[in-house]
Structure 1
């Protein structure tokens, strides 16, 4: 299944869902410690960036300075869809909420400041409900 590409359908079908817990971004230059199961990773020249549950980072003694809430957009978006990230970012920008987006094969995942995660979900639900 290739996913939805129509922006109107993507926006109206977002169904943002806040995952439980808090998540952090950390970076490593060595191996991933035992017990650490990242939800996402990115290899950069400077090191391996991991997004993982805060409690795992704490247990492994990993440094972080950003604690996020993880929102999944439940619509199955195509990796070649145009405009979803821009529309979501614009709505969250209007609300003064920073957003870090990671695209999975089936869904887009947003990491927002943990204390503003519920507000971000409400902003996205409002965006989804707007007439097109």
Structure 2
């Protein structure tokens, strides 16, 4: 299912949704298997593997959190080649002093924001979308 690429249309249809699950970034040494086998995101680096997992799972597995966050799913279907969506979203959040870590998937983008600022981040993205519709 191809997504849209027009920035104005994408922003107008952003429809952000805040996942209630608290997530954490954790690191495991190179070559280690994912404890518990389930992660929202996994990135392999020379220094080791970064995982984004549910905070409860990380605690049960004795993994030390690096960053505590919540996931905002942008429910607009966006093309991976679309230009400017990540910049617009990150810029709006930066304007509010909120960190944004974006994970793009085949259909939707996901923005990982600090857990204690998640509700505020949701409102910032709703306002961004409303402004694009005006």
Fold match (TM-score > 0.5) = yes
Q: Deviations over 1:3-36 (max 9, x none)?
A: 1100011101110000012000111121112x34
Summarize the alignment of residues 6-21 of structure 1 with structure 2, pairs less than 5 Å apart: 6-21=6-21
Any idea what SS the aligned residue of 2:72 has? strand
Structure 1 portions without partners, runs of 5+? none
CA RMSD for the aligned pairs? 1.0
CA distance in 2, matches of 1:131, 1:120: 17
Are residues 54 and 36 of structure 1, via their aligned partners in 2, closer, same or farther at CA, if it must alter by over 3 Å?
farther
- Tell me the TM-score normalized by structure 2: 0.94
- The Cα shift of 1:64 comes to 1.3
- Tell me the TM-score normalized by structure 1: 0.95
- The Cα shift of 1:131 comes to 4.0
CA distance in 1, matches of 2:37, 2:119: 26
Any idea what SS the aligned residue of 2:20 has? coil
Any idea what SS the aligned residue of 1:75 has? coil
Correspondence for 1:28:
28
Q: How many residues align?
A: 131
CA distance in 1, matches of 2:51, 2:132: 37
Any idea what SS the aligned residue of 2:4 has? coil
